[in-house]
A and B are shown apart, each in its own frame.
Chain A
């Protein structure tokens, strides 16, 4: 019966063929390690966010006078509303943990290198889209940090020469962040996840065109690949299980761990919080923005450009790396640079979390740490190019096959 129906469908649309070639029998490197789980985990979190988000939207009111109360209505009166909201709020955090690891894995094993540049570019575009989605989502509860975070970040638009002042008014829909801003952010926050979903399909199309990289970074022969099913279906499912244990521990036992207490105070345009901090996943880039403070009236504009460049530089990463070897497993200098880069990202995050005028280590302004860490951040890309283009790095011998 089922076979008959599938034959009928396949004559008209080759579904079985697609599932076979792109899923069950899709050839996958047999040496992938657990760092390769984070792509499917990111997709899993995207689905969590879409499902919980749609149910939240059924109860949420995108109105400056009603938004805050409607979130508490969800927390208190909607059946399982507290679970929906905590899943969604912690889901944003989980999403960034997954994609940060996913991106760093790609950087370490050279997954952006030829012929995977377009695959990588779709990834960077997804990253940009996610940051926009997360930023606008954080505004929706209309707490103090929502409001003032939105004010600080949208204000950056005004740094653009000539059109900046008019543009920021257009973005706000008024002369300050207010009800029109909230309303449009809700519309865009609803739209963007579907754009992300479309980009993920392009990302996976590009992946299936060139196939997965692997920890050795070598081109594999057919004998070194195994079918995706059952090997990676079960491995990814096991990864989902481990992820869910950690994720649910936060959701059920410490759901406000990543939230600022100030966001449980309703937005008040007349009262600026003592210390405005973005969500943790923006902190390194926020630190880059603030560390450019020595250019007088140009500081703000250059800061914004530096912040954008900190992510956009990933677009040219495939061409900066000139080494004949993809994986850092066989590249000692690149590997050392990579770990300095990772530590530097944490330092930038810590600087971003602190007030701009804070002092550390007994009186040193934290801005010095921020500037140094920003310089190190960009130096990673310059040095990676230098040590590979000038052949300073001698890669260790790479296996021909597994």
Chain B
């Protein structure tokens, strides 16, 4: 029965480890590895960073809402993480809406289709709806060409052909496969053509131009608005928007699991006691 015991041990280990494993464990995007950030809300004891949520809401409303909607969230819901009623009304007013309105973009779907060729996806569930979850959202927001990347691409396209040295440099900067120089060459041509390149988007080219630039918003709390900071705050806010009940879920879980552990320990004690009467 040794083998049975091994199987039992494997089952028990899986049952205990899998639930607390980060979700990214089984879900990689298949593209280049995503940058790993520390998220305040991850893990079984994770809680949303309220300051990040407030900053993220501001960026989302002032920048993202220009094209994208977040249709499951109303401005009034934002009071759940510390905005006052007056602040919420003011933010809604800035977008030409009231606090009872949903976060719906002013850009009409038909106009969006004309400008970008497609209707920008609703962001309500974005951090749950892509492999890699919040890491993927953050990767897309920060995956556009930096100034150095652009300089590299500009230098490469000047003489028309790519030297092996340029290919190595570009492959590393663009997170592309150096064994497929023809793809890098094509990417350089499309970038020159004005197409939007992203290091983490499957296929690398997407309709959305780089949405965030340093200083795009002025944070009320004085935090410096770098692209990385903006992306991190937006992602935190979108993770909240995807599941506002997440905090309640985890805190309920602690009580439920604690109760169950005590109950099960008692059931086990009673079971031992009762079965002591049975002679094998």
Contacts and interface: CB of A to CB of B under 8 A. Distances in A.
Nearest to A255: B249
B110 to A, nearest CB: 17
A237 B267 contact: yes
Q: Which 9 A-B pairs have the closest CB atoms?
A: A252-B253, A241-B264, A249-B19, A264-B129, A238-B267, A264-B125, A246-B15, A264-B128, A250-B19
B20 interface: yes
A249 B129 CA distance: 22
Given A237-B271, A241-B264, A253-B19, 5 more contacts: A30-B278, A82-B249, A230-B274, A246-B15, A246-B19
A246 B267 contact: no
B270 interface: yes
Interface in A238-261: 238, 241-242, 244-246, 248-257, 261
Contact of A261 (B3, B128, B271): B128
B257 A248 contact: yes
Interface in A151-184: none
A66 interface: no
A194 interface: no
A251 B249 CA distance: 9
B3 A339 contact: yes
Given A75-B243, A249-B257, A253-B20, A261 B250 contact: no
A237 B27 CA distance: 35
Interface of A: 30-31, 72, 75-76, 82-83, 86, 226, 230-231, 234-235, 237-238, 241-242, 244-246, 248-257, 261-262, 264-265, 274, 329, 339, 402
A83 B126 CA distance: 21
Nearest to B44: A253
A224 to B, nearest CB: 10
Contacts of A241: 260, 263-264, 267-268
A118 B131 CA distance: 45
Contacts of A256: 23, 128
Nearest to A264: B129
Chain B interface SS verdict (over half): helix
Given A234-B270, A244-B260, A254-B19, A76 B44 contact: no
Contacts of A254: 18-21, 23
A250 B18 contact: yes
B280 A30 contact: yes
Interface of B: 1, 3, 15-16, 18-21, 23, 26-27, 44, 72, 121, 124-125, 128-131, 133, 202, 242-245, 248-250, 252-254, 256-257, 260-261, 263-264, 267-268, 270-271, 274-275, 278, 280
A261 B133 contact: yes
B280 A402 contact: yes
Contacts of A250: 18-19
A72 B72 contact: yes
Nearest to A402: B280
B271 A234 contact: yes
B252 A252 contact: yes
Contacts of B260: 241, 244-245, 248
B34 to A, nearest CB: 13
Contacts of A82: 243, 245, 248-249
Of B15, B19, B249, B271, most A-chain CB atoms within 10 Å: B19
A231 B275 contact: yes
Nearest to A252: B253
B264 A245 contact: yes
Nearest to B275: A231
B243 to A, nearest CB: 7
B39 to A, nearest CB: 15
A107 to B, nearest CB: 14
Contacts of A251: 253
Of B128, B129, B131, most A-chain CB atoms within 10 Å: B129
A226 B277 CA distance: 11
B264 A242 contact: yes
Contacts of A237: 267, 271
Nearest to A68: B125
B71 to A, nearest CB: 9
A248 B249 CA distance: 11
Contact of A235 (B3, B261, B271): B271
Contacts of B245: 75-76, 82
Contacts of A274: 202
Contacts of B275: 231, 234-235
Of A30, A264, A339, most B-chain CB atoms within 10 Å: A264
Contacts of B125: 72, 264-265
A244 B254 CA distance: 13
Of B20, B124, B249, B261, most A-chain CB atoms within 10 Å: B249
Nearest to A353: B26
Contacts of A75: 243, 245
Nearest to B72: A72
5 contacts: A237-B267, A261-B130, A261-B131, A264-B242, A265-B121
Given A241-B264, A264-B128, A252 B256 contact: yes
Nearest to B251: A252
A78 to B, nearest CB: 10
Contact of A265 (B129, B133, B243, B268): B129
